[in-house]
Structure 1
Amino acid sequence: MTRAAAPGGLRGVLGATGGMTLVGTLAAISATIGRYPVFSGQALRYALAAAILLPLAARQRSRAAGPLGVRDLFLLLALTATGLAGFNYCLVEAARHADPATVATVVGGAPVVMAFAGPLVAGHRPSLRVLLGALLVAGGAGLANGVGGGSAEGFAYAAGALAGELLFSLLALPLLPKLGPVRLSAYCTALAVPMLAALAVIAGESPRVPTAGEGAAIVYAGVVITVVAFLLWYDALGRLGPDRASLFAGVIPISAAVTTMVLGLGVPSGATLAGCLLVAAGVTYGTTLGGGQDYRKKDDDA
């Protein structure tokens, strides 16, 4: 095995990079639909994703490892409530009480937490190499986004968004061997629709027909950021394990900065570029041979 061929292989690395790169474009895309009701827009996004994923999932039923049990259903509901609906709710509320830099910096700490929690949940010992890489990634994300400011309430909501991001991966670990990336993505996106619709009602939103620009952004979010990114991420998660895969969350601020520049919404600062370099160093160090575990089953060669 070469140094580049760490557990999980090149496919896991490329999948995690691609998935997080697509997620990073969400910040800039969201700026184009800032006036559309937030939870209604998210409900439309996940409804579109579910419409694409459910037919794909139906084709895989014959290969399923038995019917879903009560524990599986509970994990699916918990994953959807926290990692999708809860994450979106906390992110919206955090943005109302704190500036974007504070929110991004708090959520950017996910790799450090996952470097500890991920292996423990899966019954493995945390890797020092991955932890050091995670610290570099989190530091780079904080440098790229700045320190920011905000109220204690804003920080609490940002912490809630961080928890949602972590649970999106941790709760998926016991489900991936049975469901696989396609069925897991299909089920959680479908379950997210009524949850987000309920949040829209609670928030008093008045849904309307999106404009052409808003519609294009919602379609992009549903197809590219949800369908494609979810499949890439969950496939990589099974191959790399949560600790090593979480390092690639540091790609998000890099992708966000590039997308913002491409769309003409701003030019990255020197601190942003320095933070991006630190993130790249952390990902490279943490994913080389000697860090992390391969969480796939022994017979999973796909």
Structure 2
Amino acid sequence: MTMRVGWAGQERSGALLAGGAVVLVGGSVAASSLVGDYPVLGGQGVRYLLAGLLLAAWSRLRGEPLIRPTGREWGWLGALAAVGLAGCSVLMIQATRVADPGSVGVVIGAAPLVIVLAGALVRRRRPATRLLVAAAVVAAGAAAAQSGSGAGSFSLLGFALSLGALAGAVGTTVLAAPVLPRLGPMTVTVYSCVLAGGLLLVLAVQDGLATGATVLRMPTLVEFGALAYLAVMVTGVVCIAWFGAMQRLGSERTGLFNGLIPVASLAAVLLVGAGQVGAWQLIGALAVLVGVVLGLRRGPVVTATASGPTIAGAVPVGR
């Protein structure tokens, strides 16, 4: 027997989780700027390792043991850690150092469209027209919001780094999808964060030995606060919320919310008084909102079993 789960159930909680994750990521712009002078590889390594260990301790205190991944799942988790977490964060920081942040946002704003296409390619099927149109609207709106913020000059190196960060943003969703149904958000987050942190610290040590660069140093009070916020809120909480949304909405429809990240960043800039919001930003924000609503309109079809309704985390629901 099949039944349709309404917006008040799985979709509402999924949208709230994805929206909350986007707000935290968008608000991380100010925190990231505070650690601009801190060693990138070492700092980001500590960030992810701290997030993973804190979440593992929290899971243990709650009496919810982590699920042990299988050999194949370790491969997906390793790819998620390297591409979606470590690669994305490092390339994003490097891109904003050599290119205008607004220009970087234009490239990242294409993530929803790429996720829809990638999901279809992985399953060897044609993407749903509604999702494809919604992703295009979200990407266009995010680009408009950022181009109106002064995204003018753009270096070739900055563009290449931005494409790498885009690949990482897409990888966070695409690479987590195969392991989420069995492992769940907490296990996926803990293991991927620990793997990402370990990888970055190893790279930091190798870079230090090769070039003499500083691996880690004692952070200032401001840097410590920013790193702690990035580790706990922007890494731990965001990953759990995002992966939880994927279980409820599917990977492609959750990916639409990526388009809200540049808009949330603009709102954060406005709140701290670091800039102004003009007509293009408002138009872009409206377009993103329309695209997300369009992509989420159709409810998922869930198969009722003896143990209750189940939703496939790797397959976009409601198609």
TM-score, with structure 1 as normaliser: 0.88
Amino acid at match of 1:225: V
Kindly indicate whether the alpha-carbon contact (under 8 Å) linking 2:5 and 2:302 is maintained by their aligned counterparts in 1.
no
Q: Which residue, 29, 36, 39 being the options, matches 1:37? A: 39
Amino acid at match of 1:127: A
Aligned partner of 1:47 in structure 2 is 49
Deviations for 1:15-66, whole angstroms, at most 9, x for unmatched residues?
A: 111111111111122122222222222122212211211124454337x4xx
- State the 1:249 CA deviation: 0.9
* TM-aligned CA distance change 1:209 to 1:110, over 3 Å: same
Q: Which residue, 213, 227, 234 being the options, matches 1:218? A: 227
* TM-aligned CA distance change 1:10 to 1:295, over 3 Å: farther
Count residues in correspondence: 297
Does residue 1:140 correspond to 2:144, yes or no? Answer: no
Q: Which residue, 158, 178, 194 being the options, matches 1:154? A: 158
RMSD: 2.7
Superposition pairs for residues 188-267 of structure 1, below 5 Å?
Answer: 188-201=192-205, 202=207, 204-267=213-276
- State the 1:279 CA deviation: 0.8
SS at match of 2:214: coil
- State the 1:278 CA deviation: 1.1
Kindly indicate whether the alpha-carbon contact (under 8 Å) linking 2:303 and 2:310 is maintained by their aligned counterparts in 1.
no
Residues in 1 aligned to 2:157 and 2:301: alpha-carbon distance in whole angstroms = 37
Residues in 2 aligned to 1:83 and 1:95: alpha-carbon distance in whole angstroms = 18
Residues in 2 aligned to 1:166 and 1:134: alpha-carbon distance in whole angstroms = 13
Residues in 2 aligned to 1:233 and 1:47: alpha-carbon distance in whole angstroms = 19
Residues in 1 aligned to 2:4 and 2:77: alpha-carbon distance in whole angstroms = 37
Residues in 2 aligned to 1:211 and 1:57: alpha-carbon distance in whole angstroms = 30
Aligned partner of 1:24 in structure 2 is 26
Deviations for 1:88-111, whole angstroms, at most 9, x for unmatched residues?
A: 232233234432222111111010
Kindly indicate whether the alpha-carbon contact (under 8 Å) linking 2:111 and 2:259 is maintained by their aligned counterparts in 1.
no
Residues in 2 aligned to 1:156 and 1:293: alpha-carbon distance in whole angstroms = 40
SS at match of 2:7: coil
Superposition pairs for residues 105-120 of structure 1, below 5 Å?
Answer: 105-120=106-121
Residues in 2 aligned to 1:120 and 1:7: alpha-carbon distance in whole angstroms = 29
Kindly indicate whether the alpha-carbon contact (under 8 Å) linking 1:119 and 1:242 is maintained by their aligned counterparts in 2.
no
Kindly indicate whether the alpha-carbon contact (under 8 Å) linking 2:4 and 2:302 is maintained by their aligned counterparts in 1.
no
Aligned partner of 2:292 in structure 1 is 283
Unaligned runs of 5+ in 1: none
Amino acid at match of 1:254: V
Aligned partner of 1:173 in structure 2 is 177
Amino acid at match of 1:268: V
Residues in 2 aligned to 1:159 and 1:247: alpha-carbon distance in whole angstroms = 18
Kindly indicate whether the alpha-carbon contact (under 8 Å) linking 1:19 and 1:229 is maintained by their aligned counterparts in 2.
yes
Aligned partner of 1:14 in structure 2 is 16
Amino acid at match of 1:92: I
* TM-aligned CA distance change 1:245 to 1:215, over 3 Å: same
Amino acid at match of 1:259: A
The farther-off stretch of 133-142 and 281-290 is: 281-290
- State the 1:123 CA deviation: 6.4
Residues in 1 aligned to 2:122 and 2:41: alpha-carbon distance in whole angstroms = 31
Residues in 2 aligned to 1:24 and 1:271: alpha-carbon distance in whole angstroms = 18
Identity %: 37
SS at match of 1:86: helix
Kindly indicate whether the alpha-carbon contact (under 8 Å) linking 1:8 and 1:239 is maintained by their aligned counterparts in 2.
yes
SS at match of 1:106: helix
Unaligned runs of 5+ in 2: 312-319
Residues in 2 aligned to 1:32 and 1:57: alpha-carbon distance in whole angstroms = 30
